[in-house]
Amino acid sequence: MALRLTQRLLQTQTPFLTRGYPMLVTKEKSEDVAHTKSSLQKKVTRTDIPSAQYGGRHAVTMLPGGGIGPELMTYVREIFSYCGAPIDFEVIDIDPSTEGNDDLDYAIMSIKRNGVALKGNIETKSQELSDISRNVAIRNELDLYVNVVHCKSYPGIPARHQDIDVVLIRQNTDGEYAMLEHESVPGIVESMKVVTVENAERVARYAFEYARQNNRKKVTTIHKANIMKLSDGLFLECANRVHKDYPELEHDNMIIDNTCMQAVSKPHQFDVMNMTNLYGTIVSNVLCGLMGGAGLISGRNYGDHYAVFEPGTRNTGTAIAGKNIANPVAMINASIDMLNHLGHKEHANVIYEATYQTICNDAIRTPDLGGNHSSTDVVENILKILSAKRVNW
């Protein structure tokens, strides 16, 4: 009788287990397939919107990071709460002084669970070789292979140039940020720069596809192939090859040092820029500096399965933390990008309009933009504008 009872329990449990896990198994298999496909099989790159949870709301991982990150995240939560944005944040603080990676592992697990994250810059104070950069580790572990920074001028903001409208497409996981360094003999350190055909073609295709879908005219590939003939030469070769699939678009290339000079003197010649990891860091900071500083522009990181949103220049801002003078606009813009990604267009639009009116029309600006207002002054004015708006969702 006990044997028959055991058999019946096994028979009743098996269907339950079969029903409970196929979604997880399918996702794991699809991820394995996605990572083994060549970039040519991924001609149209897309980032799936995570399924809505809890009555149309989305769970989003929030990583405040260090420096001004925690205070900026507080402003974002306040604005979202005020306008009723259907987002539930899972806040995870990563201690920059710790030498282990437990906090990092938990943060990555949370992003994999939620599919989307909003993050500040995460410091890595430990100098131990085993303790890798948390920011780079997140991008590598989630295969966030492309970073998109739309550098568009705000009218009325004091800047070196007006009417800039350039999109930077940055390779996120290869290049000098591979974190492959070693001391071959005492006093001699070697650092490897990694460029792969798969990732070079993926980011090039993303750049050309972005240009096509957004009515852009030209893609410029940034490189140093005159010196790094194999690595940057391969990156440029991949871009030239992918361009053949987009004959309606113009494609040229420019050496990185000349790019910086041209960006400072004639930034309007650029439309969409395709570049490796380190060059993207340099050019994005140059362009953001020309437009008013680090406090305005947001950045988007995309992979085949996950998306992470953050300020465009990835600065920690430790020197101004806690002084109520940090510009909250870049982080607010990152949260707007996140809302658009999740399909909450109305909330994204009203927050964008309120932010735009605050800094452009009402001239409520922090000191980095030539103003004399505090961070809270900017946020309070945004909330005041939102109080007169109505959002349906």
Per-residue pLDDT, averaged over 32-50, amounts to 44
Of residues 223 and 9, more confidence is placed in 223
Residues 280, 328: one domain?
no
Residues 280, 350: one domain?
no
Residue 56 belongs to a domain: yes
For residues 274 and 208, what is the distance between their CA atoms, to the nearest angstrom?
9
Please say if the pLDDT value at position 3 is more than 50: no
Residues 350, 303: one domain?
yes
Share of the chain above pLDDT 90, in %: 65
Q: Which of 291, 315, 342 is the last residue of a domain?
A: 291
For residues 49 and 338, what is the distance between their CA atoms, to the nearest angstrom?
10
Predicted confidence at residue 21, as pLDDT, reads: 25
Predicted confidence at residue 103, as pLDDT, reads: 84
The answer to whether 286 and 264 have CB atoms below 8 angstroms apart is: yes
Predicted confidence at residue 179, as pLDDT, reads: 79
Q: Residue 50 — very low, low, confident or very high, per pLDDT cuts 50/70/90?
A: low
Residue 123 belongs to a domain: yes
Report the run of H or E that residue 167 belongs to, with start and end: strand 165-171
Domain count, the chain: 2
Partnered with residue 118 across adjacent β-strands are 62, 309
Q: Residue 392 — very low, low, confident or very high, per pLDDT cuts 50/70/90?
A: low
Q: Residue 393 — very low, low, confident or very high, per pLDDT cuts 50/70/90?
A: low
User: What does each C-alpha distance from 60 to 52, 63, 103, 304 come to in angstroms?
Assistant: 11, 10, 17, 17
Please say if the pLDDT value at position 96 is more than 80: no
Least confident of 227-241, 304-318, 369-383: 304-318
In 3-state terms, what secondary structure has residue 188?
Answer: strand
Residue 262 belongs to a domain: yes
Predicted confidence at residue 122, as pLDDT, reads: 85
Q: Where are the beta strands (DSSP E) in 312-372?
A: none
Per-residue pLDDT, averaged over 129-141, amounts to 80
Please say if the pLDDT value at position 8 is more than 60: no
Residue 103: DSSP 8-state: H
The CATH code of the domain that includes 282 is 3.40.718.10
pTM, to two decimals = 0.84
For residues 387 and 75, what is the distance between their CA atoms, to the nearest angstrom?
16
In 3-state terms, what secondary structure has residue 392?
Answer: coil
Q: Which of 235, 260, 291 is the last residue of a domain?
A: 291
For residues 319 and 295, what is the distance between their CA atoms, to the nearest angstrom?
14
Say what the alpha-carbon torsion angle 47, 48, 54, 58 is, to the nearest 10 degrees: 10
Residue 164 belongs to a domain: yes
Of residues 227 and 182, more confidence is placed in 227
Of residues 181 and 306, more confidence is placed in 306
Per-residue pLDDT, averaged over 280-308, amounts to 93
Please say if the pLDDT value at position 265 is more than 90: yes
Residues 193, 140: one domain?
no
Please say if the pLDDT value at position 259 is more than 80: yes
Q: Tell me which residue range forms the domain holding 166.
A: 160-291
Residue 359 belongs to a domain: yes
Residues 130, 217: one domain?
no
Please say if the pLDDT value at position 261 is more than 70: yes
DSSP 280-300: HHHHHHHHHHHHT-TTS-EEE
Residue 155 belongs to a domain: no
Residue 29 belongs to a domain: no
Residues 246, 166: one domain?
yes
Predicted confidence at residue 44, as pLDDT, reads: 43
Cβ neighbors of 61 (< 8 A, separation 6 or more) are 89, 90, 92, 107, 110, 111, 113, 114, 116, 117, 118, 119
Residues 227, 168: one domain?
yes
Mean pLDDT of the chain: 85
Structure tokens at 169: 């497409």
Of residues 4 and 262, more confidence is placed in 262
The answer to whether the Cα torsion of 276, 281, 286, 288 is positive or negative is: positive
Q: Which of 291, 306, 336 is the last residue of a domain?
A: 291
DSSP 131-186: S--HHHHHHHHTT--EEEEEEEPPTTS--SSSS-EEEEEEE-SSBGGG--EEEEET
Alpha carbons within 13 angstroms on the beta-carbon side of residue 56 total: 7
Please say if the pLDDT value at position 10 is more than 50: no
Q: Residue 317 — very low, low, confident or very high, per pLDDT cuts 50/70/90?
A: confident
Residue 38 belongs to a domain: no
For residues 40 and 238, what is the distance between their CA atoms, to the nearest angstrom?
11
Please say if the pLDDT value at position 354 is more than 80: yes
For residues 129 and 9, what is the distance between their CA atoms, to the nearest angstrom?
52
Predicted confidence at residue 128, as pLDDT, reads: 61
Predicted confidence at residue 54, as pLDDT, reads: 63
Predicted confidence at residue 131, as pLDDT, reads: 60
Residues 317, 286: one domain?
no
The answer to whether 354 and 386 have CB atoms below 8 angstroms apart is: yes
Nearest to 100 by CA among 137, 152, 54: 137
In 3-state terms, what secondary structure has residue 373?
Answer: coil
